[in-house]
């Protein structure tokens, strides 16, 4: 059997259709993971990405670059291995195949080989420190539990997933338009969220203080867990970033999707949650009384009707209470604005799950997400280990390609990773490397002339 060969560690296993008619168990399976690492994990693409052009023959290449990158493995029974390093793609592949990690995390590039950090520590000099790291963002849908009523905890469905779609749209646009970053990778976490990797050279070289400043740029959700009002939009005018986020993404998300999918005004408790965000009790009382008197009407439109009542009351100009001017926008932001794990973005030494890992709780692969078409992404259709194994054993999807993943539903994700992210990134790295090298040569020539 194919699975038996995978467990025994054989690399020359045959995918011959023996299991094509069998129904494989869904979810995560360590036996399937071994086969995944043998047949499907894109080692070469991950290596080329994390090398940033330093794996070539150009005289400016830093041959030690990839070997100074920290990787960590989480093994079965929560055995955690940190500060692992590999000097080549073959070493990386060998290490992953041998250990068969349930999770792979990527850390920063250090000043020295992280696996040899103790030897440098004995010298008495603080030479072991992070020198490069992608700017990263981690958005988890569990942080929206106070405003999503369809699911809670690790559960996610198509009614609440649009919150992740909106987060991608808001953050991606700001990173490109406001900060000028170009090489941005969005990845499904495999279960309940999304990760963002900003890979431009200027992003990788940001200090912790600069990373914190960028993270704070996105900070709007500031309330504590027990705060009734968690968003406060102050000042004479909203920042252009907030205006763009509201008009282009959040307003439509709230009114066209969340009102109905989350049934935001369908019960008294849910209505009270919204009314508590209004700083003027007289306005809250007026709306509460109106809704209690007019509880008739179809359940299908009660959310839209009550939202229009609230907007009209707050925006009619009849009430002049403090803080009412932007209350409608604050309510929309409270329900829909991206909620970032700020600490992940602020520090260079924070680790983040590698793309194309398999989530140990769901068995789903952490595939890239196209931010341009993120509204089409469906987390419930992301390939699982069992699905990929089934596709391999049934002959795959369509014609057999040069790579095994070409014969599975993982192929589309690998091709997208290459064409939309990796190839433009490496082209930019080559240009940057060439420019820096030529500049250094010119400086050398100038010094000789002097």
Active site residues: 70, 138, 140
CA atoms of 440 and 233, how far apart (whole Å)? 48
- Is residue 169 within 8 A of residue 336, CB to CB? The reply is no
Quick one: the chain helix, strand, coil %, rounded to 5? 50, 10, 40
> At residue 188, what are phi and psi to the nearest 5 degrees?
-70, 135
Q: DSSP assignment of 55-78, as one string?
A: TSS-TT--TTTGGGEEEEEEEGGG
Length of the chain: 450
| DSSP element (H, E) containing 213 | helix 208-217
CA dist 308 and 259 (Å) reads: 11
Cβ neighbours for 191, distance < 8 A, ≥ 6 positions apart: 154, 156, 359, 361, 362, 364
Strands (E), 85-236: 103-110, 130-132, 135-140, 184-188, 193-198
DSSP 358: B
Q: Contact, 101 vs 354, CB < 8 A? A: no
Give the whole-angstrom CA distance, residue 49 versus residue 32: 26
Cβ(295)–Cβ(309) below 8 Å: no
β-pairing, 352-353 with 103-110?
antiparallel
Q: Cα–Cα distance between 279 and 100 in angstroms, integer?
A: 54
Angle formed at CA 238 by CA 236 and CA 239, multiple of 5 degrees: 125
Residue-wise over 171-190: b if at least 16 C-beta within 10 A, else e?
bbbbbeeeeebebbbbbbbb
């Amino acid at each position: 059997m194919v699975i038996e060969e995978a467990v025994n560690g054989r690399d020359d296993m045959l995918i011959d259709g023996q299991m094509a008619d069998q129904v494989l168990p869904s979810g995560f399976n360590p036996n399937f993971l071994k086969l995944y690492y043998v047949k499907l994990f894109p080692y070469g693409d991950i290596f080329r990405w994390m090398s940033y052009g330093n794996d070539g023959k150009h005289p400016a290449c830093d041959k030690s670059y990839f070997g100074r990158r920290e990787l960590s493995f989480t093994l079965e029974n929560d055995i955690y291995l940190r500060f692992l390093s590999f000097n080549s793609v073959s070493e990386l592949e060998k290490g992953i195949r041998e250990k068969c990690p349930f999770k792979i995390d990527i850390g920063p590039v250090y000043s020295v080989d992280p696996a040899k950090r103790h030897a440098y520590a004995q010298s008495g000099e603080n030479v072991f420190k992070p020198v490069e790291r992608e700017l990263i963002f981690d958005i988890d849908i569990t942080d929206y539990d106070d405003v999503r009523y369809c699911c809670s905890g690790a559960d996610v469905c198509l009614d609440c997933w649009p919150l992740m779609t909106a987060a991608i749209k808001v953050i991606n646009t700001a990173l490109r338009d406001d900060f000028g970053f170009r090489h941005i990778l969005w990845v499904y976490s495999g279960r309940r969220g999304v990760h963002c990797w900003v890979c431009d050279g200027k992003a990788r070289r940001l200090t912790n203080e600069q990373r914190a400043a960028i993270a704070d740029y996105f900070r709007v959700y500031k309330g504590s867990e027990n705060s009734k009002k968690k968003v406060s939009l102050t000042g004479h005018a909203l920042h252009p970033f907030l205006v763009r986020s509201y008009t282009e993404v959040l307003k439509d998300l709230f009114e066209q999707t969340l009102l109905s999918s989350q049934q935001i005004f369908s019960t008294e408790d849910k209505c009270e949650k919204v009314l508590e965000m209004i700083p003027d009790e007289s306005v809250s009382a007026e709306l509460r009384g109106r809704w209690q008197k007019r509880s008739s009407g179809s359940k299908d439109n009660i959310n839209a009707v009550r939202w229009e009542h609230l907007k009209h009351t707050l925006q009619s100009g009849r009430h002049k209470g403090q803080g009412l001017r932007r209350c409608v926008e604050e309510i929309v932001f409270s329900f829909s604005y991206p909620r970032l794990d700020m600490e992940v973005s602020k520090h260079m030494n924070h680790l983040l799950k590698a793309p194309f890992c398999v989530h140990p709780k769901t068995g789903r692969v952490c595939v890239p997400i196209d931010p341009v078409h993120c509204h089409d992404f469906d987390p419930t259709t992301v390939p699982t280990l069992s699905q990929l194994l089934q596709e391999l054993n049934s002959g795959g999807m369509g014609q057999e390609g040069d790579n095994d993943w070409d014969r599975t539903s993982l192929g589309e994700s690998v091709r997208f990773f290459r064409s939309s992210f990796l190839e433009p990134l490496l082209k930019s790295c080559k240009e940057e490397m060439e420019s820096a090298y030529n500049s250094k040569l010119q400086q050398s020539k100038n010094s000789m002339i002097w």
